[in-house]
Amino acid sequence: MSSTFVIDPPAVISLPVTGESRRFAVNRIYCVGRNYADHAREMGHDPDREPPFFFMKPANSIVTDGKDMAYPKLSNDVHHEIEMVVAIGKGGANISAENALDHVYGYGVGLDMTRRDLQGEAKKMGRPWDTGKAFDQSAPCGEITPASKFGHPSKGGVKLLVNGEVRQEGDLNQLIWNVPDTIAYLSTLFTLEPGDLIYSGTPAGVGPVKKGDLLEGSVEGLSDLKIKIV
């Protein structure tokens, strides 16, 4: 028992880093909504009209590569959303798009898991999305690949296989708000801090998962993410 805290402090949530024994400590998780035109359309929205919008997940919703994700409670319609994840290494507010990539430590492959039924209900009632988006184990994320060694990807395939079948496929060059623009915009709303993650949005093809499914996500040039639903 700690002599400083009245309860045991929460553990630091972290992700492995490619080619490093040290890990990336996770602070906050921001997610961009509807950032690929074909996904915006499949959700019934006009992709040309909207500035970016954001929602959050708690850091402890991370599931690391190779781990199981328990099918969440109180939902019968849990969806996969494959996304590239931007890992912030240097904080700041009102960051310009020109300087934005200087704030990026690296990139990973993530799944923005969604209780679509609860999210749909929240949308209908004009309520927050937290129960649909920010539940336990809702943020699987793979190894972080440092930009210092592998650069900043602005194009390349984003793909999700479920049980070996292609379910989602897109390209980073289809992002409505690219990584520099997203960081610039987000940093006007929040002061970014080291350890923050940004889930950059999902291409079309979102759909339900079931117990026993193996999800294999990839972004060209980054380490794959494998998660089993149990």
Which residue ranges make up the site for Mn ion (CB under 5 A)?
81, 112, 202
- Smaller CB separation from Mn ion, 112 or 213: 112
Whole-number minimum distance, CB 102 to Mn ion, in Å? 25
* 61 close to 137: Cβ distance less than 8 angstroms: yes
d(Cα 149, Cα 36) in Å, to the nearest integer? 27
- Closest residue to Mn ion: CB criterion: 112
Whole-number minimum distance, CB 112 to Mn ion, in Å? 3
d(Cα 128, Cα 9) in Å, to the nearest integer? 28
- Smaller CB separation from Mn ion, 147 or 206: 206
- Smaller CB separation from Mn ion, 17 or 32: 32
d(Cα 48, Cα 37) in Å, to the nearest integer? 8
- Smaller CB separation from Mn ion, 81 or 196: 81
Bridge partners, 165 (sequence order): 162
Whole-number minimum distance, CB 113 to Mn ion, in Å? 9
Whole-number minimum distance, CB 50 to Mn ion, in Å? 14
Structure tokens at 179: 């990584």
CA-based torsion, 46, 49, 52, 55: positive or negative: negative
